[in-house]
Amino acid sequence: MTVGLFIPCYVDQFYPQAGIATLQLLEKLGVEVVYPPRQTCCGQPMANSGFSHLTGGCDELFVESFKAFDYVVAPSGSCVLHLKEHLHSEKYPVVAEKLRSRVFELVEFLTDILKVKDLKARFPHKVGVHQSCHGLRGLHLSQMSELVAPPFSKPEQLLHMVDGIELIKLDRADECCGFGGTFCVFEEAVSAKMGKDRVSDHMRNGAEYITGADLSCLMHMEGILRRQKSNVKVIHIAEILNQAVAE
């Protein structure tokens, strides 16, 4: 199985360690991983702002970069959701259609495709899980608090395999952090207030780290935490799952 690794633009630029952890983790699990050099962006920043008609170039590049792979994996839930829902191509319509069902967010790839049952990782810390909205309500990585349906959580299923980790409980299990792409600047007041409230829920409940499957939310919360000079840190779930066990 060969996996094409998609590292979204802002992850490439600001969170390379999450990309590296994703790559190393997949390799540890015996997957052959390739990072196609001509990739750029999933197109979501434009589409969510109402400019989906400008994403054609992005989409074509994506399809050309990844058309040869069995699967595409990315450490970012919202980019994956966007691709699953909107990827299209004038040049290769059939390939684009096929790719839409083969793009996976890292967590769901681990639980649903690789069916990972145990991991050798250790992270002796108190950790709060941020359920990013697009991963939660779009990709169904966890059960949504609004629905009357049996609970489950794919990120927590994986985190429970990590030695020494303690997952904290939040007062509001799955409220949005307020990032929302361009929402974070065009609706600055409400966005920042949502971020502050989300972060304080984690702090109130004793988190040392906030983790999740979407770096855009983590980036937002990190911006707030650092402004508040808090000791709480954000960390992408791949980095926790990839923590080596000290021999």
Partner 1 sequence: MAEVIDNEKHIRSGRANLPEDHSSLSSVFNEDEERVNWHDETLWFIRQKRDKAVHGIPEWEWLRDTASGIKNNVLSNLSVYLEQFEANAKANGIIVHWAADAAEHNQILHSILKRHGADRMVKSKSMLTEECHLNEYLAENGIEVIDSDLGERIVQLGKEPPSHIVLPCIHKKKEEIGDLFHQYLGTAAGESDPQVLTEAARQHLRDTFLTRRVALTGVNFAVAETGEFVVCTNEGNADMGAHLSDVHIASMGIEKLIPERKHLGVFLRLLTRSATGQPITTYSSHFKSPREGQEMHIILVDNGRSRQLGREDFRNSLKCIRCGSCMNTCPVYRRSGGHSYHAVISGPIGSILAPNLDMREYADLPFASTLCGSCSNVCPVKIDIHDQLYKWRQVLAKEGHVNKGKAAGMKAMSKVFSFPGLFSFAGKTGRWTMKYLPFIVNNKLNPWYKQREMPKPPEQSFREWYEKNRRME
Of 39, 76, 211, 243, the one binding partner 1 by CB under 8 A: 39
Is residue 172 near partner 1 by the rule CB under 8 A?
yes
Is residue 240 near partner 1 by the rule CB under 8 A?
no
Is residue 19 near partner 1 by the rule CB under 8 A?
yes
Nearer to partner 1, 191 or 243 (CB): 191
Is residue 142 near partner 1 by the rule CB under 8 A?
no
- Please tell me the distance from the alpha carbon of residue 146 to that of residue 205, in angstroms, as a whole number: 22
Is residue 133 near partner 1 by the rule CB under 8 A?
yes
CB 211 within 8 Å of CB 130: yes
Of 29, 144, 168, 203, the one binding partner 1 by CB under 8 A: 144
- Please tell me the distance from the alpha carbon of residue 201 to that of residue 174, in angstroms, as a whole number: 11
Is residue 179 near partner 1 by the rule CB under 8 A?
yes
Of 17, 29, 95, 113, the one binding partner 1 by CB under 8 A: 17
Instruction: For residue 206, give both structure tokens.
Output: 């004793």
DSSP letter (8 states) at residue 86: H
**Nearest approach, Cβ of residue 206 and partner 1 (Å):** 21
Is residue 193 near partner 1 by the rule CB under 8 A?
yes
Phi/psi at 150 (nearest 5 deg)?
A: -60, 140
**Nearest approach, Cβ of residue 164 and partner 1 (Å):** 27
**Nearest approach, Cβ of residue 44 and partner 1 (Å):** 10
Q: Which residue has the tokens 């983590």?
A: 218
DSSP letter (8 states) at residue 113: I
DSSP letter (8 states) at residue 151: -
- Please tell me the distance from the alpha carbon of residue 181 to that of residue 243, in angstroms, as a whole number: 30
Question: Which of the ranges 41-49, 104-112, 116-124, 150-158 carries the binding residues for partner 1, by CB under 8 A?
Answer: 41-49
Of 77, 128, 155, 180, the one binding partner 1 by CB under 8 A: 180
Is residue 1 near partner 1 by the rule CB under 8 A?
no
Binders of partner 1: how many residues, by CB under 8 A? 79
C-alpha distances (whole Å) from 25 to each of 109, 199, 222, 239 are 12, 28, 24, 9
Residue 178 Rama label (left phi>0; alpha psi -120 to 50; beta): left
- Please tell me the distance from the alpha carbon of residue 170 to that of residue 201, in angstroms, as a whole number: 6
Residue 116 Rama label (left phi>0; alpha psi -120 to 50; beta): beta
State which of positions 198-227 bind partner 1 (CB under 8 A): 219-220, 222-224, 226-227
Q: Which residue has the tokens 């909107």?
A: 86
Nearer to partner 1, 4 or 155 (CB): 4
**Nearest approach, Cβ of residue 178 and partner 1 (Å):** 6
Is residue 186 near partner 1 by the rule CB under 8 A?
yes
Question: Which of the ranges 53-61, 99-107, 155-163, 238-246 carries the binding residues for partner 1, by CB under 8 A?
Answer: 53-61
Instruction: For residue 178, give both structure tokens.
Output: 């307020």
